Structure 1
């Protein structure tokens, strides 16, 4: 190889030596004379042409970068010394800046009434806690969104999760209010949260008026109300005002359901006007009370179903708190209540408020008897009237299973001088007791398994 380099030295001139040159010269020393003359020149020409094309393509793509690099390289000789001088100036200024900062801190650290420093401290503290403040400010919006979503999905499984999330958010806001009672920001957030919780309370109370309210949904709703509005649970009774609210809501649903019978009631009113406008001694009137019979049958059917459901739901939801209610409802059955001893807490009427269920069955019975007293005289067919009276007895027995039997109250439907009505009542009661006796005998004969 040294001989080859000596032979090629005149042609290479001052070409720098590197590893690539050495590798190529080593490769040339291994080639034959024929390859050097015929194969290597075309190969070198092809490689040179390929490299030229690559350089041309690179120049076309990156010519701007090349121009910029060239310009920066031309100014590098002036920029580097300037950068060095400015870095030296900065290094010399840092100790002086540090000294001034220490002097400033020492001078103003003991001053507490400087308004500018106070504003700066508050601004810096606000800057450090901006994320936390943003999260706190978003709490009322999140709470309102959760309440709205729960009201839209009322009656579904999603409402339970949404209401629980809303209650958790409200509890978090209450904790913040306890930790920072004097903060205007927290007070504002708490006031907005209270407004949202009032909307939630309204939605929950409206949910108690839903049609076909089930026991599970009722217990959940009452449980949420106890968390949202704890003030409703007064110390007077176990259920507080929640029991009264529940009964009022279910009563509103009962009244709205009965109002759906208004078309039949209007026909019954027409028959009432005909009855009052003709001679009562005439046994054959223009109307025998067929429309009134239809109205009363449907009325009693709805009343029986809904009254039983209301009292049953109340007892199941507030059942563990109704030791007094059992005694109060038993007053509908006459002497049974007198035979039971009253709790000492009930001796003083100002000491404890009676439970909501104490007078509610009597109100239901009054609602039923007023309707019967107004429309039952329209029914002149004896069979139809006996059917209605029997239906009333079954309704009384149904509510009596929950301690609200009002069969004896029904005897007041007939007037004192109405002997026919009294005889009909007597006949219906006799048949009803006979049927009940036969059913009891059949039940007693069934062998126990």
Structure 2
């Protein structure tokens, strides 16, 4: 191969005479015969050259952009490298000076405590670090309002219980933040918005006490929420209430249930209008003989029966719910009904003695005067419409129904049976007393027979 290389040296490029590829090809040529060199090698070289040319053309077509970019970068590389070296040297020379300036700035301003620019910078940096926490705090009022709204929409369901509990937890969290940061304007604004939401929740809960068919569990739950939402209501007059400890919540509960009772009785307005017509016809009569011309009070009888039925059911439910919710262990005198039996005001009801230096008497419990209002509501209605009913059996039926109503409320300490003797007007007071006496006699006789029958039943 050395002899072949010496023969071909004048025809080769001096820079590629010792190329590895050249050496491999010359080694291959030395192994070929003369006939192969003359016949097969030239076409093989031509084919290889053509293949290589096609490959180069395809590569140029695919990667011409990269070739152009590489050529441009390569052309500027000889100037970019020296420039980068100079700039790196300048940066290295400037670092000590920059360090000296930073140390001088820190030394100069670290001793100044009233610099406004530094204070603003510190506040901005602190705000940037706590932006997520502030965002969470700012969202608390909206979350609380949404919880209260959702609970009002789903009132009376299990969802409202969970939502009200969540709202109370959010409010408690806001109160803790207000305790931890009492001077923060942001926390103060958040707490103010939360209080507005809790006022709406209080209104919704009080409205919930006026719902129809209020159950004991729902009443206890609602009063418990009110005690957490508005603790001030639980503290008002708590020292004046005798053994109840319900504060103003007891009065609120009774007022709400009374409003529901009144709205339920107002549903009888169509019957009441018919009874009013009979009242007008009765009052327009010249004498008693004229009163026989009108119907005799059938519409009034229907109205009063339905009225007494609703009154009996609702009054018993109101007082029973009150006693169970507030756990009021009151004696009959504290209940304020003992005076009703004799027709007197409940001034003799026992109450907590007021201090000697207090010129005003403390208010009695809410339940002490509430039955009086209920009884007044019933007696006013009976006094207005009972004279319309002229049929004796109908009147006795109504009085018996009232007697059962009085006995029903009397199971809770509110028997008002003796007041019924005063239902009539001045002209028929004696007749009413006689009718009431007859009804009481029949009722006692029936009760005695029932007691005898009950006593004969053997107890296993």
Provide TM-score, normalisation by structure 1. 0.82
Q: CA RMSD in A?
A: 3.4
Query: Secondary structure, in 3 states, of the residue corresponding to 1:111?
Result: coil
**Aligned residues of 1:332 and 1:406 also touching (Cα < 8 A):** no
In structure 1, runs of 5+ residues without a counterpart are 1-5, 26-36
CA distance in 1 between partners of 2:407 and 2:61 (Å): 104
How big is the shift at 1:416? Answer: 5.1
Alignment match, 1:28: none
Number of matched pairs: 411
User: What is the CA deviation profile of residues 373-403 of structure 1, one whole-angstrom value per residue up to 9, with x for unaligned ones?
Assistant: 0000001111111111111111111111111
How big is the shift at 1:58? Answer: 11
Which structure 2 residues correspond to residues 297-336 of structure 1 after superposition, within 5 A?
297-319=305-327, 321-323=328-330, 327-332=334-339, 334=341
CA distance in 2 between partners of 1:89 and 1:326 (Å): 102
Alignment match, 1:89: 90
Which structure 2 residues correspond to residues 212-361 of structure 1 after superposition, within 5 A?
212-234=213-235, 235-236=238-239, 237=241, 238-282=245-289, 284-319=292-327, 321-323=328-330, 327-332=334-339, 334=341, 345-346=352-353, 352-361=362-371
Change (3 A) 1:430 1:121: same
**Aligned residues of 1:324 and 1:354 also touching (Cα < 8 A):** no
CA distance in 2 between partners of 1:427 and 1:368 (Å): 21
Change (3 A) 1:342 1:272: closer
Larger radius of gyration: 2
**Aligned residues of 1:332 and 1:404 also touching (Cα < 8 A):** no
**Aligned residues of 1:289 and 1:379 also touching (Cα < 8 A):** yes
How big is the shift at 1:122? Answer: 1.5
Alignment match, 2:418: 408
Alignment partner of 1:129 is 2:130: yes
Alignment partner of 1:426 is 2:437: yes
**Aligned residues of 1:390 and 1:428 also touching (Cα < 8 A):** yes
**Aligned residues of 2:334 and 2:350 also touching (Cα < 8 A):** no
Query: Secondary structure, in 3 states, of the residue corresponding to 2:156?
Result: coil
Alignment match, 2:35: none
Alignment partner of 1:388 is 2:388: no
Alignment match, 2:387: 377
Alignment match, 1:201: 202
In structure 2, runs of 5+ residues without a counterpart are 10-15, 29-39
CA distance in 2 between partners of 1:343 and 1:386 (Å): 36
Provide TM-score, normalisation by structure 2. 0.80
CA distance in 1 between partners of 2:20 and 2:188 (Å): 83
How big is the shift at 1:417? Answer: 4.2
CA distance in 2 between partners of 1:423 and 1:311 (Å): 31
CA distance in 2 between partners of 1:66 and 1:446 (Å): 117
CA distance in 1 between partners of 2:420 and 2:60 (Å): 108
CA distance in 1 between partners of 2:455 and 2:66 (Å): 107
**Aligned residues of 1:326 and 1:403 also touching (Cα < 8 A):** no
**Aligned residues of 2:340 and 2:372 also touching (Cα < 8 A):** no
How big is the shift at 1:98? Answer: 2.2
Query: Secondary structure, in 3 states, of the residue corresponding to 2:217?
Result: helix
Alignment partner of 1:149 is 2:156: no
How big is the shift at 1:447? Answer: 2.8
**Aligned residues of 2:206 and 2:256 also touching (Cα < 8 A):** yes
Change (3 A) 1:131 1:70: farther
CA distance in 2 between partners of 1:312 and 1:80 (Å): 97
Change (3 A) 1:342 1:359: closer
Query: Secondary structure, in 3 states, of the residue corresponding to 2:270?
Result: helix
How big is the shift at 1:72? Answer: 4.7
Alignment match, 2:12: none
